[in-house]
Structures are given as C-alpha cells and as structure tokens.
C-alpha cells in the first residue's frame, strides 16, 4: 500500500494582508515538507483573508496572477504540492471563489470554482460556478477539490467520487456555531462516497467573524484520521488510494447507485409540485 502524508494548515488570516498571509503559507509549507508531507491544504481565500465584501471591493484583481505565482513558487521551493483558494475573475467579469492544486514543481494540476455560495455576503460578492469537480492523479491518489459549503451537499462529494476521486481536498471558512459540520457531516460525506475528505478551516477572528477551527481529515470508513482544536495548527495524516478502494469493495455504494431511478424521482417531483411552490 502506498501511503502519502497529507498536511492541513489551520491558521488565522489577516484580511487583505497578502504578503503576511503568503508568508504564513510559506512557513506551513516549509514545516510540512520537513515532516515528509507531499501535499499541503490551506483554508478558503486564505491569501486574501475571508471577508467577501471587502475582498470584492478592495482587492485589485490585476494582482491575482502575481499572488498565484507566489503560491506556486512556495510549492516549488519547498517541494510540496499546495492547495490554495483565491478569487477568480471570469471572462465576463464575474468573480468566483476558486481553489487550485499546484504540484511540487509549481505547475497547476487542478482548479475548481465554488458552486454553492453561503450567506448574503458571498452571494453579493461572488457568482456561483456550475462545473463539476474534476479529478487528477496526485502521487498515485485520484484527487479532487471542493470548497466549504459545497461539501455540505452530498451531490458534490458524490460527483467527485463518481469521477474516480479517492481524496477530496476542501478549503473552508467555517464560523462558530456549526460544529456539527466537521464532526458529523464531513465524516458522513467521507463514508457515503468512500473517499478521504480533508477540510481546512480558518482560526481566530477575521473582520468580525469568529472562526471555528476544528479542521478534520476523515477516512473512507467515516473515522477521523486527524482533528484540530480552535487555534492555529498543522495537521498530518497518512492517506492512500487503497483505503478508498477497500471501502468500495466492502460496500459498493458507487457501483450500486441507480441514477436513472433518481432522475425519475426528480422528474415526478417536478410534475407533482404546485406551480407556486
């Protein structure tokens, strides 16, 4: 069995302090690589801070390519793959929340944009994406991305798993009051789609938002491989493709899905629903 050491960064970001935040990523990447980790997962919008309206109105989008180059340089310098999250400005001028996986050589392997926006501020600042999560081979593990609220919908993790994902990396920004999300829901997502789920949260206070911390790495059987407290922390867990494959062999949820039946259920619901529902 080939095991890969995964590192997860939980930390406090300073809103719009790009240099300081990137320095924090650099330190985490250095420490993670020194410990033997092959990939580092960082929280949602960490390089710019999680404050959707401020980011949307105060961040100069022309600087985003330089931030991406800085983060790719961190990955290359320390020889570790990195997942980071930043705003992305689309061709039509719409802003989305994105996540990117760069290799240990600093090459972009995978990108994803957030499909489910959470709360009024996110919906005002950003536009929702529609593309399904894609999958790439990372050190022998089929890997995919989701962002924060996306993983609270079973369809997101299932879409990744149905495309062959064995590892789902999730940058997030989860406030206090939602403790059940990492402790219950994330473990259920890992179990029901039989893949490892890593969920990296902010800690501390940013622009008036108190973050939960509580990042987790959950195994394909729903067990916890690692869990953080409320403060800054660098989590580690060994993950493998075989863990997902063994779970799927034991109970073949994916193979025994009946998507045609589920579509018929949705069609019948639309027919039954009153016009003003």
Q: Is 124 a catalytic residue?
A: no
Question: Considering 22, 122, 148, 233, which one is annotated as catalytic?
Answer: 148
Q: Which residues contact 247 (CB under 8 A, 6 or more apart)?
A: 194, 220, 221
- Residue whose entry in the numeric block shows the structure tokens 């919008």: 45
Q: Is 114 a catalytic residue?
A: yes
**Rounded (to 5) percent helix, strand, coil in the chain:** 35, 30, 35
Question: Considering 22, 114, 122, 152, which one is annotated as catalytic?
Answer: 114
Question: Considering 22, 44, 152, 233, which one is annotated as catalytic?
Answer: 44
Tell whether the torsion through CA atoms of 79, 169, 198 and 176 is positive or negative: positive
Q: Is 44 a catalytic residue?
A: yes
Q: Which residues contact 95 (CB under 8 A, 6 or more apart)?
A: 56, 61, 87, 88, 89, 125, 126, 127
User: Quick one: which of 13, 37, 38 has its CA closest to 24?
Assistant: 13
Active site members:
44, 114, 148
């Amino acid at each position: 069995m080939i095991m890969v050491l995964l590192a997860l960064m939980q930390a406090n970001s300073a809103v719009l302090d790009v240099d300081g935040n990137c320095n924090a990523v650099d330190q985490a990447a250095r420490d993670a690589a020194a410990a033997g980790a092959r990939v580092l997962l960082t929280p949602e919008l960490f390089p710019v801070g999680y404050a959707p309206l401020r980011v949307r109105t105060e961040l100069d989008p022309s600087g985003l390519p330089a931030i991406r180059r800085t983060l790719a340089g961190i990955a290359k310098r320390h020889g570790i793959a990195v997942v980071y999250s930043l705003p992305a400005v689309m061709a039509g001028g719409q802003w989305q929340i994105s996540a990117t996986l760069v290799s240990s050589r600093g090459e972009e392997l995978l990108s994803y944009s957030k499909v489910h926006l959470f709360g009024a501020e996110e919906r005002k600042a950003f536009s929702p994406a529609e593309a399904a999560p894609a999958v790439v081979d990372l050190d022998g593990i089929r890997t995919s991305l989701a962002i924060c609220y996306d993983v609270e919908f079973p369809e997101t993790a299932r879409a990744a798993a149905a495309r062959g994902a064995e590892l789902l990396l999730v940058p997030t920004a989860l406030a206090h009051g939602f403790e059940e999300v990492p402790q219950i829901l994330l473990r259920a997502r890992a179990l029901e789609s039989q893949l490892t789920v890593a969920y990296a949260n902010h800690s501390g206070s940013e622009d008036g938002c108190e973050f939960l911390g509580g990042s987790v790495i959950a195994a394909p059987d729903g067990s916890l491989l690692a869990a953080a407290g409320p403060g800054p922390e660098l989590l580690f867990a060994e993950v493998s493709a075989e863990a997902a494959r063994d779970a799927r062999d034991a109970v073949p949820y994916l193979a025994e899905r009946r998507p045609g039946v589920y579509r018929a259920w949705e069609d019948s619901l639309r027919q039954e629903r009153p016009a003003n529902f």
